[in-house]
Amino acid sequence: MPKARFANEILLHSAALAHLAQPFTSTTNLLTVVREQEYTSEADIYKSAGMAYIAPELREGTNELQLALENKLPTLLELTDLKGSLHNHSTYSDGAHTLEQMATFLRDEGYEYLGISDHSKTASYAGGLREGDVLRQQKEIDELNKKLAPFKIFKGIESDILGDGSLDYEEDILKTFDFVVASIHSSLNMDEQKATTRLITAIENPYTTMLGHPTGRLLLRREGYPINHKMMIDACASNNVIIEINSNPWRLDLDWRYVQYALEKGVMLSINPDAHHTNGYADMKYGVLMGRKGGLTKEMTFNTKSAEEVETYFRKRKEKIN
Ligand SMILES: [Zn+2]
Ligand SMILES: [Zn+2]
Give the whole-angstrom CA distance, residue 33 versus residue 56. Answer: 17
Give distance in angstroms: CA of 223 to centre of ligand 1: 15
pLDDT for position 117: 98
Give the whole-angstrom CA distance, residue 303 versus residue 271. Answer: 7
Give distance in angstroms: CA of 71 to centre of ligand 2: 39
Give distance in angstroms: CA of 57 to centre of ligand 2: 27
Give distance in angstroms: CA of 1 to centre of ligand 2: 46
- DSSP H or E stretch at residue 36: helix 30-36
How many CB atoms lie under 10 A from the CB of residue 237? 17
- Those residues with Cβ within 8 angstroms of residue 107's Cβ, 6 or more apart along the chain or in another chain: 148, 151
What is the overall mean pLDDT for the chain?
96
Give distance in angstroms: CA of 316 to centre of ligand 1: 26
pLDDT in tens, 226-266: 999 999 999 999 999 999 999 999 999 999 999 999 999 99
Give distance in angstroms: CA of 183 to centre of ligand 2: 8
SS3 of residue 302 by DSSP: helix
Contact assessment for residue 209 and residue 317, using Cβ atoms and an 8 Å cutoff? yes
Nearest to 45 by CA among 56, 60, 26, 30: 30
The closest ligand to the CA of 186 turns out to be 1
The closest ligand to the CA of 87 turns out to be 2
The full DSSP string for 128-146 is: PBPHHHHHHHHHHHHHHHH
Q: Where does residue 34 fall: left (phi above 0), alpha (psi -120 to 50 degrees), or beta otherwise?
A: alpha
Give distance in angstroms: CA of 127 to centre of ligand 2: 12
The full DSSP string for 179-239 is: EEEEE--S-----HHHHHHHHHHHHTSTT--EE-STT--BTTTBPPPP--HHHHHHHHHHH
Give the whole-angstrom CA distance, residue 232 versus residue 262. Answer: 10
Give distance in angstroms: CA of 202 to centre of ligand 2: 16
How many CB atoms lie under 10 A from the CB of residue 280? 20
The reported pTM is 0.95
Nearest to 43 by CA among 68, 72, 76: 68
pLDDT for position 4: 75
The closest ligand to the CA of 184 turns out to be 1
Give distance in angstroms: CA of 195 to centre of ligand 2: 19
Give the whole-angstrom CA distance, residue 137 versus residue 155. Answer: 9
Give the whole-angstrom CA distance, residue 34 versus residue 117. Answer: 49
Give distance in angstroms: CA of 213 to centre of ligand 1: 7
Give distance in angstroms: CA of 209 to centre of ligand 1: 15
Give distance in angstroms: CA of 313 to centre of ligand 1: 23
pLDDT for position 322: 73
Give the whole-angstrom CA distance, residue 25 versus residue 27. Answer: 5
The closest ligand to the CA of 156 turns out to be 2
Contact assessment for residue 75 and residue 54, using Cβ atoms and an 8 Å cutoff? no
Give distance in angstroms: CA of 166 to centre of ligand 2: 18
- From first to last of its 322 residues, what are the pLDDT tens digits of the chain? 667 789 999 999 999 999 999 999 989 999 999 999 999 999 999 999 999 999 999 999 999 999 999 999 999 999 999 999 999 999 999 999 999 999 999 999 999 999 999 999 999 888 999 999 999 999 999 999 999 999 999 999 999 999 999 999 999 999 999 999 999 999 999 999 999 999 999 999 999 999 999 999 999 999 999 999 999 999 999 999 999 999 999 999 999 999 999 999 999 999 999 999 999 999 999 999 999 999 999 999 999 999 999 999 999 999 999 7
Signed CA dihedral, 166, 168, 171, 176: sign only: negative
Q: What percent of the chain has pLDDT over 70?
A: 99
Strands (E), the chain: 84-88, 113-116, 152-160, 179-183, 210-211, 242-246, 269-272
Give distance in angstroms: CA of 23 to centre of ligand 2: 44
Give distance in angstroms: CA of 283 to centre of ligand 1: 15
Give distance in angstroms: CA of 18 to centre of ligand 1: 35
Give the whole-angstrom CA distance, residue 54 versus residue 67. Answer: 9
pLDDT for position 1: 60
Give distance in angstroms: CA of 303 to centre of ligand 2: 16
Give distance in angstroms: CA of 172 to centre of ligand 2: 22
